[in-house]
């Protein structure tokens, strides 16, 4: 936080210089360098291995998530290929080459989610969870479908290198999925009916060129 503040202050100073002298090449170069540093800090925050999500609607508790950013809604703009890297339940990111039935059933669940049949999607993903306890993706999408039924969910994006390192990505999500499930279970049974948690999985391919584009979409 302190490091970012330092660069932000420096950015303001050089912007002031350029306001007075727009053609100052030294100030232009320094400003570009500062903007690069600020962007690096933002990306480090996005991809940090562990992040503690504290208070959501009171105290959520200590929830160790991997590389998350508060989700403010995936905007309907930008590159379609970038948007394809996000999923709340509309697509599968970790197909199982050894389980054709799993992939087929997952596709059916995705279709229900795409069609906004969230009751059916919830039931469908729940069956996948029962038969595939070690797979975190169906559990996340089950909870997302549940959250969509209740409307006004709290959305959080989790960045993982899904296509480059699926084993590591699943390991990350195995920490996220049960935490989301436990939180939603408590919220669902709460008399105050607080908002449920929706996890949006973002595939960043562990690629420094892709990560900034994902960050802009979040």
The burial of 45, by beta-carbon neighbours within 10 Å (0-12 exposed, 13-18 middle, 19 or more buried), is given as middle
Give the model's pLDDT for residue 160.
92
- DSSP assignment of 178-200 equals HHHHHHHHHHHTSTT-PPPEEEE
Residue 12 has what pLDDT?
Answer: 83
Question: What are the residues whose beta carbons fall under 8 Å from the beta carbon of 133, sequence distance 6 or more?
Answer: none
Q: What is the pLDDT of residue 43?
A: 59
Q: Which of 185, 183, 177 is nearest to 201 (CA)?
A: 177
What local confidence, expressed as pLDDT, does residue 61 receive?
Answer: 43
CA 27/CA 7 separation, integer angstroms: 14
Cβ atoms < 10 Å from Cβ of 26 = 10
pTM: 0.66
- pLDDT score, position 74: 47
Q: Which long-range contacts (CB under 8 A, 24 or more apart) does 104-109 make?
A: 106/138, 109/138, 109/141
The per-residue pLDDT for 66 is 38
In 3D, which of 154, 75, 148 has the Cα closest to residue 118?
148
- Spell out a b/e string for 51-61, using b for 16 or more CB atoms within 10 Å of the CB, else e: bebeebeeebe
Q: What is the pLDDT along the chain (218 residues), one digit of tens a residue?
A: 556 677 777 778 778 877 888 888 888 888 888 888 777 666 555 444 333 344 343 434 433 343 444 444 444 445 667 778 899 999 999 988 778 889 999 999 999 999 999 999 999 999 999 999 999 999 999 999 999 998 888 998 888 999 999 999 999 999 999 999 999 999 888 877 678 999 999 998 888 778 777 766 66
Backbone angles phi, psi at 64, to 5 degrees: -75, 105
Give me the pLDDT at residue 108, please.
97
Q: Exposed, middle or buried, 134 (CB in 10 Å: 0-12/13-18/19+)? A: exposed
Inter-CA distances, 74 with 11, 122, 155, 160, 172, Å? 28, 22, 10, 17, 22
């Amino acid at each position: 936080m302190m490091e970012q503040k330092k660069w932000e202050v420096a950015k303001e100073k050089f912007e002031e210089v350029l306001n007075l002298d727009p053609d100052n090449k030294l100030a232009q170069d320094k400003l570009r360098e500062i903007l690069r540093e600020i962007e690096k800090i933002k990306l480090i925050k996005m991809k940090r291995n562990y992040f503690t999500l504290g208070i959501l609607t009171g105290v959520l508790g200590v929830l160790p998530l991997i590389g998350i950013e508060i989700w403010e809604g995936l905007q309907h703009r930008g590159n379609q290929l970038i948007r394809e890297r996000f999923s709340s339940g509309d697509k599968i990111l970790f197909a199982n080459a050894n389980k054709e039935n799993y992939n087929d059933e997952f596709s059916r669940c995705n279709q229900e989610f795409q069609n906004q049949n969230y009751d059916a999607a919830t039931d469908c993903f729940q069956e996948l969870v029962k038969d595939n306890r070690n797979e975190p993706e169906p559990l996340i999408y089950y909870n997302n479908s549940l959250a969509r039924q209740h409307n006004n969910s709290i959305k959080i994006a989790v960045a993982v290198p899904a296509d480059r390192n699926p084993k590591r990505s699943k390991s990350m999500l195995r920490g996220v999925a049960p935490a989301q499930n436990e939180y939603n279970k408590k919220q669902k049974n709460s008399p105050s009916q607080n908002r449920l948690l929706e996890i949006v999985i973002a595939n960043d391919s562990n690629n420094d060129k892709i990560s900034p584009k994902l960050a802009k979409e979040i």
